[in-house]
Structure 1
Amino acid sequence: MRDSVKAKELIDAEISGEMREAYLNYAMSVIVARALPSAEDGLKPVHRRILWGMNEMGVFHNKQTKKSGRIVGDVMGKYHPHGDASIYDAMVRMAQSWSLRYPLVIGQGNFGSMDGDSAAASRYTEAKMEKISMEIIDGIEKDTVPMMKNYDNSLDEPIVMPGRLPQLFLNGASGIAVGMATNIPPHNLNNTCDAIITYLDNPECEDRELIAAIKAPDFPTGGTVSGDMKGIYTEGKGRLILDGKTVIEEPKTAKTKTKIIITEIPYQVNKANLVEQIANLTRDKKLPDVSDIRDESSKGKVRVVIELKKMSEPKFTLNRLYKYTQLRVSFNANMLALVDRVPKILTLREYVKVYIKHRQGVIRKMKEFDLAKAEKRLHIVDGLLIAQSNIDEVVKLIRAAKGKVDAGTQLKLKYSLSDKQTEAILEMKLHQITSLEFEKLKNEEGNLKTLIEKLKDILGNEGLILKIVKGDLVELKDKFGDNRKTKLVGKVGDFEEADLVDKKDVVVTLTAKGYIKRLDLAQYKEQRRGGKGVIGSGLTEGDFVKELLTCSTHDYMLFFTDKGKVHWLKAYEVPASAKSTKGQAIVNLLQLKDEKVTSVLAVKTFENLLMMATAKGVVKKIELSQFSSPRKGGIKAIKVMETNDILIGVKRMKEAEEVLLVTKKGKAIRFKGGEVRAMGRAAAGVTGIRMSSDDKVVSLEILPVDEGRDKFSILTITKKGMGKRTAIDDYRLTGRGGKGVINMNVTEKTGEVVSSRSVLVDDNVIITTKKGIVIRTPLKNVRVMGRATQGVRIINLGAGDRVSDLSRVPIDEIVGE
């Protein structure tokens, strides 16, 4: 008998086939039930079960916390047949603000740190759901999602959550399954909702529009991100580069040192390991300029201070930190998730579709639940109203009945009532037969009919359901929206960063000591001629604004230096600053080697020509297209021949236009641009004006030759605030290389000429002084005068102050007026 039992238990099978089938079952279990998140609610099974368990326990954000051990034990015993350590580790991560962009659990006690410290044991800590977690389970009580039996078939648990929150993209996910892995970066809630709303508003929108809305991943630890955004969002795969955020702190006194301060670290980088890594590299002489490193981080704030030796170059050390340490890491995104329990790599558009489809189903089931509930209640209310309308007969009938069953039978027969209606009438209390209760029932009946009609309209119109989806997203933004933590830098696949930057008019200023900043044009207050102006620069003592330019954020800025080189920046790459701050050192943005920026040019397109001029009167014409390929470190723009000569001005021009050179001693020369042939970048140029040894060129202007020429005039301003406008034709047209004509009668009262600009009568000008005073004034108040005059006072200067620069603001660029 024993042999027959054994024979029945034995299965004859090929071991290779049995292993193949067993491993496939194991692989599918890992893929579907452990390692990969569902695209619909963005949760892995363990996270879904933790939230479901906490929901069943009533551990909501507005309730008391409960012991973590109690929560873990409940989840393990009822839903998740795995070790308690894995459940607790998952819950701990759900509470860490540096692990999840939007934490789903509120932790009380020691829940670890960015230094890799472990959380305290579950018997010591407590937890409850975050407020935002309620958006994941919202509506589950209305039978909106399918349920399944738990592992011992004793309880129900959701297969997927209602998922009002687009959790998959908000907090991302990472996990290794069998033969596949997922690595989805986190995103900003506002950006994610905007991308979904963009698709809802126009399902035919281009990928570019969706990417412009979502911008880029947004990591909880901040920093910067660059890389293949197009690949991530249009193919579901791509590589990102994450950099920590640093600040270079210049020494304030002779005794202090230059510091590099790390204020944000890349995602998933252990801060203690990073500090140790820097210390080891310093010891191994790979960071030779580092003299000390300190971790001054406090709760919630990162501050790692790296002190440098005197006379060291901070950018050199910073580049080495990015190269050799985890201050720069890569993130290989693989947008893999389960769609209807099947693994799929998702593009941004596909995820948006999955989210919308899931929410449509949830909202439809929610409305069907509400409709059934309302219809059921209306049925009861109709029965109660029948009883109220015939209350005397009903009472008489009930009193005459032999019992409850008999009363119910007679009520159903006489008034054609259902069992439910009859039961509700028999359960009525005496106070419910008053006239007031009758009015309440009538009002309830009307409200229920209105609600039922509205619910039927929604269920019969998919557009109304989509409108609810959009409304939910807008509400999420209002309740939980916040600013991005991670800054997007560099190129975004085939998309330039500029595609994601708003176009607007700005003012860019550069000071004599090399501080640059960007402000909105509207921040400057227009002032009448002779006004005192406003403080515009927050300058240090002895510094003053040297260059002031109005342009668009999308313009290229070409920075020409005294050595004849040119460097590139996009206008939006210049840091935006308040009026009262000095800005950022230009050397931190450009690789300047013993150079000083002397001219800045805003360029929208690399067309036409450039005219250059040096202080010694040399001019050079060159095609602008020769500067259309930005290069790190800059390139040669003009060969400066004399050791004491510098490049003072660069302007765009057309072949037929004229050139005006103005000197500080009040001379000017006007000649045709065609007299100067176009040259290569390495050329030195030709003589534009001949001057006395103590004179120098201060301005280069390009003059129009079209029909609108007579509307222009030449505005000249001196160091002591005197100025005038002079007609262009008052400057006699001569050949290149002459001594020129008088531009202004320079005296002790006027001071030397600072600048000249070609202007229109409707223009405004921005005048800057050495003490940082900036005013904007209309030119209609400055009258036209002859060349050999001293002009009128344009700005009242304080004691010891002098005019340093002049910039034209065309009328069509004036913002907010």
Structure 2
Amino acid sequence: PLTDKIGQLVNDKTLEGIAHVNNESNMREGVRIVVDLKRDAVAQVVINHLYKYTELQTSFGINNVALSKGRPKIMNIRDLIVEFIDFRMDVVIRRSKFELKKAEERAHILEGYLKTIQDEDHLDAAISIIRSSKTPDEAKTRLIEKSVTDNWHLPQGLFNENAIEHYQQSIGLSEKQVQAILELRLQRLTGLEREKIVEEFNELMNTIARLKQLLASEDLRYDLIKTELLEVKAKFGSPRLSEIQYLADEMRIEDLIEKEDVVITISHLGYIKRTSASEYRQQRRGGRGAIGSKTREEDFVEHLFVASTHDYLLFFTELGRCYWLRVYEIPEGEKQSKGRAIQNLIQLPTDDKVRAIISVPNLEDKEAIQDKYIVLCTKKGIIKKTDLEDFSRPRSTGVNAITINEGDQLLEAKLVTPSQEIMMAVKSGRAIRFAEDKVRSTGRGAIGVGGIEVDDATDEVIGMICVNSTDTTRNVLVVSEKGFGKRTAVEEYRMTNRGGKGVKTINVTEKTGALVAILDVSEKEDLIITCKSGITLRTAVASIKEAGRATQGVKLIRLDESDEIAAISKIEEQVDEEAILPEGEESTTDIAADGTDTAASNNDNDIATEETPA
């Protein structure tokens, strides 16, 4: 039974999210199987798994061979419908020709009757000839001669237009008409019978005209076929008991995967994993964070970002290559797990490594990717813009995204739309803002143009963002390697041409360390900060104070003296701040959302008020 199969799959861990299965089928209600789901299960995902792994959905193969014009042919549904319509068309034509022939034969006989009995002189002459003839053949011959000689024709005023049109030129009697007259019973000569003959003749004339029009017009024949089919449906039709749906083969793998936001991390040594965003609970600014990924001593989280399980990921490497992967193809792991080597998922050479990742909801929707561009920048300040459509056809071997100059490396990749602005920041604490259209769109193999000028060999670009100055809800967030950060309004960064030095974005000191990150954020978002030691902190953007460009900001996370910021990413604001720590983690590891470490908070506020002029 189906319930036993479902139970077995649940025990084998093939089906997840099912708590209990109960068979409530009976003679009165019919088949009824109740599947109780676990609290966190997604109903549609469970249904899709049931369709795939059980007989809840079954496909039947059909060898759909039929005769077409006398030859066997494999047909699809459309072919069958076309053949049936052609068959019905042939039936209508042959039936109409048959009915027309019969109607014309009968009308010919009635015409002879009417020429003879509707005129008293003709009737008297016919009776006289019949009585005086010795044989039937003699009577036939004399009647034909008499009708032609005397111009016997249909009388006027008794017939419709069709009768007059078809028979007004008809003179005399034919041999078949004379034979019918000889066989005519005397009772048909009464007045009532004569009226019936006239009525039948007029009806036949209308039928003949209709059938001739039908045979002359294909549109009329199609209308007749449709009318007849609707009559059959009305008489014999019944409600459909089955449901027409997509074929099982058309079920995509993402239909079996819950759509949710996940946090994706890539370590310095190239280990990648995805973790449910719910595992990262929010803490207050200045907290110590929670234990994140378990990495080797020389490894740390280098990239951290949020995407949906159904998104496409574009990986851009130091050497300027691009690779593709679906988010659900990334192995799922707990927050503390190491992950899997990225070389197991994409064909990444050993001398190359991932430097930037872009998440795109759908690469197959041409309208969705139209007028969107990918902007790439390098550590030496080179910037390049290419149409997103150029990256919409994934290849397992990857493609070249940008030509990198010797001694340079790809650093960042962003999606940009027309009318947006681009900001680039360097390690020494400067940032530049210029319009997106200052960078001309080029092909994948191009080198790019200058975006920002770096100070010296020790300076380099640390990040790039795309902003919209008309959106006043978003700010520019900058973070230093020692955990200091601040929010600043976009308008404080004046618009310039690309290639300049830019303006100061943070006051870099020995206490703050060099600039390591720049993001565009809103107060309705959270930040996930990861340190090289593996510690991870989730904090609200709203808790970070706005400050001028030339300040050093506030402390976002308390770091050990030897620790530094490794990666920072933004995520939608967490509504429920009372999240439960992962199993086995000590509660002293983090500070709660309403934390009690007031000393740290007070110290941070003191730092926030330190504003050093540019």
Q: TM-score by structure 1 length?
A: 0.42
Q: 1:553 to 1:189 in 2, by over 3 A?
A: closer
Q: 1:200 to 1:514 in 2, by over 3 A?
A: same
Out of 574, 598, 614, the position equivalent to 2:355 is: 598
Which one-letter code corresponds to 2:279 in the other structure?
Answer: Q
Q: Work out the CA distance in 1 between the residues paired with 2:283 and 2:45.
A: 41
Out of 200, 204, 213, the position equivalent to 2:49 is: 213
C-alpha displacement of 1:170: 7.3
Residues 553-632 of structure 1 aligned to structure 2 (within 5 Å): 553-593=309-349, 594-606=351-363, 607=369, 608-632=372-396
Counterpart in 2 of 1:476? none
Query: Is 1:703 aligned with 2:467?
Result: yes
Query: Is 1:770 aligned with 2:553?
Result: no
Q: Work out the CA distance in 1 between the residues paired with 2:344 and 2:373.
A: 30
Structure 1 gaps, min length 5:
1-162, 172-185, 203-207, 219-228, 238-490
Counterpart in 2 of 1:543? 299
Which one-letter code corresponds to 2:438 in the other structure?
Answer: E
Which one-letter code corresponds to 2:361 in the other structure?
Answer: K
Q: Secondary structure at the match of 1:748?
A: coil
C-alpha displacement of 1:188: 5.9
Q: Secondary structure at the match of 1:780?
A: helix
Residues 595-744 of structure 1 aligned to structure 2 (within 5 Å): 595-606=352-363, 607=369, 608-640=372-404, 642-693=405-456, 694-706=458-470, 709-744=471-506
Residues 65-104 of structure 1 aligned to structure 2 (within 5 Å): none
Q: Work out the CA distance in 2 between the residues paired with 1:757 and 1:189.
A: 40
Task: Report if the CA contact (8 A) 1:522-1:815 is conserved.
Answer: no
Q: 1:164 to 1:759 in 2, by over 3 A?
A: closer
C-alpha displacement of 1:211: 7.4
Which one-letter code corresponds to 1:691 in the other structure?
Answer: V
CA deviations on 1:683-702 (whole Å, 9 max, x unpaired) are 11111112222211111100
Task: Report if the CA contact (8 A) 1:522-1:814 is conserved.
Answer: no
Q: Work out the CA distance in 2 between the residues paired with 1:717 and 1:168.
A: 52
Q: Secondary structure at the match of 1:234?
A: coil
Which one-letter code corresponds to 1:214 in the other structure?
Answer: L
Which one-letter code corresponds to 2:435 in the other structure?
Answer: K
Which one-letter code corresponds to 1:652 in the other structure?
Answer: L
CA deviations on 1:224-249 (whole Å, 9 max, x unpaired) are xxxxx99x943459xxxxxxxxxxxx
CA deviations on 1:375-417 (whole Å, 9 max, x unpaired) are xxxxxxxxxxxxxxxxxxxxxxxxxxxxxxxxxxxxxxxxxxx
Task: Report if the CA contact (8 A) 1:505-1:813 is conserved.
Answer: no
Out of 274, 283, 289, the position equivalent to 1:527 is: 283
Q: Work out the CA distance in 2 between the residues paired with 1:784 and 1:187.
A: 50
C-alpha displacement of 1:571: 0.9
Q: Work out the CA distance in 2 between the residues paired with 1:568 and 1:651.
A: 15
Task: Report if the CA contact (8 A) 1:169-1:187 is conserved.
Answer: no
Task: Report if the CA contact (8 A) 1:598-1:648 is conserved.
Answer: yes
Task: Report if the CA contact (8 A) 2:429-2:506 is conserved.
Answer: yes
Higher relative contact order (CA 8 A, sep 6+): 2
Q: Percent identity?
A: 37
Task: Report if the CA contact (8 A) 1:557-1:568 is conserved.
Answer: yes
Q: Work out the CA distance in 2 between the residues paired with 1:794 and 1:188.
A: 43
Task: Report if the CA contact (8 A) 1:561-1:598 is conserved.
Answer: yes
Q: Work out the CA distance in 2 between the residues paired with 1:599 and 1:508.
A: 12
Q: Secondary structure at the match of 2:472?
A: helix
Which one-letter code corresponds to 2:320 in the other structure?
Answer: G
Counterpart in 1 of 2:608? none
CA deviations on 1:349-389 (whole Å, 9 max, x unpaired) are xxxxxxxxxxxxxxxxxxxxxxxxxxxxxxxxxxxxxxxxx
CA deviations on 1:512-555 (whole Å, 9 max, x unpaired) are 01111111111012111110101110111011111111111111
C-alpha displacement of 1:802: 0.6
C-alpha displacement of 1:816: 8.3
Query: Is 1:552 aligned with 2:316?
Result: no
Residues 145-544 of structure 1 aligned to structure 2 (within 5 Å): 212-214=48-50, 216-217=52-53, 233-236=58-61, 493-544=249-300
Q: Work out the CA distance in 2 between the residues paired with 1:683 and 1:197.
A: 66
Task: Report if the CA contact (8 A) 1:724-1:782 is conserved.
Answer: yes
Q: Secondary structure at the match of 1:498?
A: helix
Q: Work out the CA distance in 2 between the residues paired with 1:665 and 1:775.
A: 25
Q: Work out the CA distance in 2 between the residues paired with 1:628 and 1:559.
A: 13
C-alpha displacement of 1:600: 1.3
C-alpha displacement of 1:781: 2.1
Which one-letter code corresponds to 1:738 in the other structure?
Answer: G
CA deviations on 1:283-324 (whole Å, 9 max, x unpaired) are xxxxxxxxxxxxxxxxxxxxxxxxxxxxxxxxxxxxxxxxxx
Structure 2 gaps, min length 5:
26-30, 35-43, 63-246, 364-368, 580-614
Q: Secondary structure at the match of 1:710?
A: coil
Root mean square deviation, CA, Å: 3.4
Q: 1:588 to 1:816 in 2, by over 3 A?
A: farther
Q: Work out the CA distance in 1 between the residues paired with 2:303 and 2:58.
A: 41
Task: Report if the CA contact (8 A) 1:191-1:215 is conserved.
Answer: no
C-alpha displacement of 1:499: 1.3
Q: Work out the CA distance in 1 between the residues paired with 2:575 and 2:323.
A: 25
Out of 534, 546, 550, the position equivalent to 1:784 is: 546
Task: Report if the CA contact (8 A) 2:478-2:485 is conserved.
Answer: yes
Larger Rg: 2
Which one-letter code corresponds to 1:503 in the other structure?
Answer: K
Task: Report if the CA contact (8 A) 2:266-2:301 is conserved.
Answer: yes
Q: 1:504 to 1:813 in 2, by over 3 A?
A: farther
Q: 1:213 to 1:616 in 2, by over 3 A?
A: same
Which one-letter code corresponds to 1:617 in the other structure?
Answer: G
Q: Secondary structure at the match of 2:343?
A: helix
Which one-letter code corresponds to 1:713 in the other structure?
Answer: N
C-alpha displacement of 1:756: 0.9
CA deviations on 1:17-54 (whole Å, 9 max, x unpaired) are xxxxxxxxxxxxxxxxxxxxxxxxxxxxxxxxxxxxxx
Task: Report if the CA contact (8 A) 2:526-2:574 is conserved.
Answer: no
Q: Work out the CA distance in 1 between the residues paired with 2:460 and 2:548.
A: 22
Which one-letter code corresponds to 2:518 in the other structure?
Answer: S
C-alpha displacement of 1:165: 5.4
Q: Work out the CA distance in 2 between the residues paired with 1:774 and 1:797.
A: 11
Which one-letter code corresponds to 1:577 in the other structure?
Answer: G
Q: Work out the CA distance in 2 between the residues paired with 1:570 and 1:816.
A: 31
Q: Secondary structure at the match of 2:250?
A: coil
C-alpha displacement of 1:196: 10
Q: Secondary structure at the match of 1:674?
A: helix
